[in-house]
A and B are shown apart, each in its own frame.
Chain A
Amino acid sequence: MANYSRKRFLVIDDQPLAREALRTIAQTVGAFAVEFASNYQDAIYRIRNNVPDIVLCDYVLGDGRSGQQLLEELRRFNLLPDETIFMMVTGEQSYEQVVSAVELVPDDYIIKPFSPDKLLLRLDRILEKKNFFADYYRKKRQQEYAQALAILQAKRDSEAGRPYRFEILRQQAEVQLASGAAESAEATYRNILENYNFPWARAGVARSLHKQNRLSEAREEIDRVVAATPNYFDAADVKANICMSQGDHGEAQKVLDEIAKKTPRNYLRKRLLAEAATLNGDTGTASAALADVVANDSMPGAVTPMDRLALVRSHLAGNDKLSAEKVLLGLRDSEVQNFDLNEQASYVALLAILLPGKGKPRLAGLRPALLLTELSSTARLDLMQAALTIADRELADCQCENLMLGNEAKKLFGAVRNQYALYGREVDFREIQRQVALKRIHHDDAPAAG
């Protein structure tokens, strides 16, 4: 049995009596230092300033927030090291339905009422597991993926690893995906599925196929997951991303619209919804979703300049230039100075569209670099639109060709074509398309290296 007297506990519950109850139980298992957080924001603040060893978090946090959202937010901002124990406490048996589906699971959950002995047993087991994975956590944190995978393989082959084989495989697949080995990740997820049809593993197959640009297969897999587990919200995000890559923006928005209503405070999902709505031509939904993000995603640093640029784009697409200008000019100089090249390109392009007097000279200054550099597709789309607006054919066509040659061609096809149509250049767009098709054929005919 581990010694809990030196561990720092944080109890998160919005009900004072329940908080006291959790403290009593924690003290009975030996806890000496037990801190309280009474709500979501307070919990994030405390964890960010001083990471506890053990978090006991009630599932219902009041104000429409759940412990699951808190967990996801903590992971999103990397505030919760793998070594910290996060234990969800719930009176609802239905939480198990949540845990069996989601990507981000707590270390464990415990159903109320429970005795101190039971909590102790659970905490001991989690510590055993965390000790087992300790060397792997370190390598993963340092992004030493090859070493992390080697450690996992050794664990998988070991006798001590037998009780954790699904977790080992799951971690392997995640590291493989993160390090760009999508085919290996797919094989690992399929290995899990051979054993049992876990929805998260099938969603993993879909994510791996998506990374390999095998879109219709990816779509087939994720459709199965969404149909079988409608409450698995992360699967809806995966599906929306795949739909967008396929150019099926209507379906992407439909899926996200539905889920976003059930998770109104998930702002990563709101951003995704805005992206899908923009591509789908529904600028009202996109603007509303982004305005919500900018106003309410409350974690410091959560709302990035990219979010504001996205809001500018959706106002612009909705032909609300005044609002677009207001948001764009609201960016601080210090923020603009810290932009990377992609953000700079987008910023200058949007400025050239909205305030040509200010934007055009800056765009001209960057132009030589922009013709030659690798840029993100978002930046290219902004530049293309600006170039079309100011009739800079060479710059527009260069971005257009790059977009149509890239991996996201299907996703952005509609948006690009519409812009060319807006400036009466459909014929030119078709010619660029033809050139791109020829290049692709030529590329496919070339003998493979090696």
Chain B
Amino acid sequence: MQRLLDVLASGIHDTKNQLFIAEALLVAKEAEHRIDLGKARYAIESAANRLSRTLSTYRLFRHGASLAVVPVIVGDLCAEVALTQGKHLATLGVTLTLDCQVVDEWPLDRDLVADMLNNAVQNAGRFARRAIHLSARIDNDNLCLRVDDDGPGFTPLPPKAGAGLLLAERLAELHVRQERRGSLHLGNDSALGGARFELRLP
């Protein structure tokens, strides 16, 4: 199995390298012709993220999967998600607002959590009318990362679990700290009136 994983990982790695070259070529054209090719670049990055997520799903559902936990500045994490998704949402007429109440570092798997949040914001973007709110705060010794939207909410609730949600749930569970585990909560009690995606990490 490890061998298969290595082959898959190496193929995805090569693909992402190619996608990076494609994005850089677009960046060069943007500078040369003073145009904005943000939509094309966003599509490239989304494709790469999708590939990574597929590999992560495979990796995290194997027996004995482990995370790469490092201290992360939560505000930076949220700012990056906003940077990645903000412009694209704006083209859909949706505003992404940010509220990070956490000053201290938090131990978490930065890349996977960022990917989860990107995915959650992207999903919210498909249903939101005008607004999405990304927030971080500490609640009962847990880091609580929330994506609220003003769409119609999840129907049904709980929603049918796609790859993204399955992965988010597994990712939350794999975050263990002093015998406490992370968890995923989905609901329709968003402050904006729509769906709420909440990742709680110990």
- Contacts of B11-50 to chain A: CB distance below 8 A: 12-14, 16-17, 19-25, 27-28, 31, 41, 44-45, 48
A118 and B83 in contact (CB under 8 A), knowing A91-B13, A92-B13? Answer: yes
Residues of B near A167 (CB, < 8 A) are: 71
A113 near B48: Cβ-Cβ < 8 Å: yes
A97 within 8 A of B: yes
CB contact between A18 and one of B21, B27, B73, B104 (< 8 Å): that residue: B21
Question: Smallest distance from the beta carbon of A112 to chain B beta carbons, Å?
Answer: 4
**Chain A residues near B24 (CB, 8 Å)?**
20-22, 24-25
Instruction: Given the known inter-chain contacts A93-B52, A94-B9, please indicate yes or no for A21 contacting B20, CB distance below 8 A.
Output: yes
Main secondary structure of the interface of A (DSSP, over half): helix
Stretch of A158-166, A269-277, A330-338, A365-373 lying at the B interface: A158-166
Question: Given A91-B14, A93-B52, A96-B109, A115 and B23 touching (CB < 8 A)?
Answer: yes
Cβ-defined contact, A96 with B20, below 8 A:
no
Considering the chains assembled together, what is the distance between the CA atoms of A165 and B41 in angstroms?
36
State whether A112 touches B20 (Cβ < 8 A): yes
The CA-CA distance from A2 to B73 in the complex, in Å, is 19
Residues from chain A with a CB closer than 8 A to the CB of B1 are none
Cα distance, A99 to B103, chains bound together (Å): 23
Say whether B55 faces chain A, with CB atoms less than 8 Å apart. Answer: yes
A20 to B70, CA, bound (A): 31
| B17 contacts A96, C-beta separation under 8 Å | no
Point out the residue from B12, B17, B66, B104 that lies within 8 Å of A15, measured CB to CB: B17
Question: A121 with B83: in contact, given A91-B17, A162-B104 (CB under 8 Å)?
Answer: yes
Q: Is there a chain B Cβ closer than 8 Å to A114's Cβ? A: yes
- Say yes or no: is A198 at the interface (Cβ < 8 Å to chain B): yes
Contact assessment for B19 and A112 in the assembled complex, using a CB-CB cutoff below 8 Å: yes
Q: Flag if A100 contacts B69 (CB, 8 Å).
A: yes
A92: nearest residue on chain B (CB-CB)?
B13
Give complex CA distance A251, B83 in Å: 50
- Whether the pair B104, A113 counts as a contact (CB closer than 8 A) is no
Q: Which chain A residues border B66 with CB–CB below 8 Å? A: 97
Listed by A's residue number, 14 A-B pairs whose Cβ atoms lie within 8 Å are: A18-B21, A96-B111, A101-B68, A111-B52, A111-B111, A113-B16, A115-B23, A118-B80, A118-B84, A121-B79, A121-B80, A125-B73, A196-B71, A196-B177
Judged by a CB distance under 8 angstroms, whether B164 is at the interface is no
Residue B187 interfacial (CB < 8 Å): no
For B53-94 the 0/1 string (1 means CB < 8 A from A) is: 001100000000011111101011001100110000000000
Q: Identify A28's interface contact among B14, B31, B48, B70, CB under 8 A.
A: B31
User: Are A113's CB and B109's CB within 8 A?
Assistant: no
A160 to chain B, nearest CB (A): 10
Q: Kindly state the separation between the CA atoms of A117 and B14 in the bound complex, as whole angstroms.
A: 23
In whole angstroms, how far apart are the Cα atoms of A167 and B52 in the complex?
29
CB-CB < 8 A to A162: which residues of B? 103-104
Q: Are A125 and B76 in contact (CB under 8 A)?
A: yes
Contacts of A121 in B (CB 8 A): 76, 79-80, 83
A162 to B69, CA, bound (A): 19
Within 8 A of B (CB), among A67-104: 91-94, 96-97, 99-101
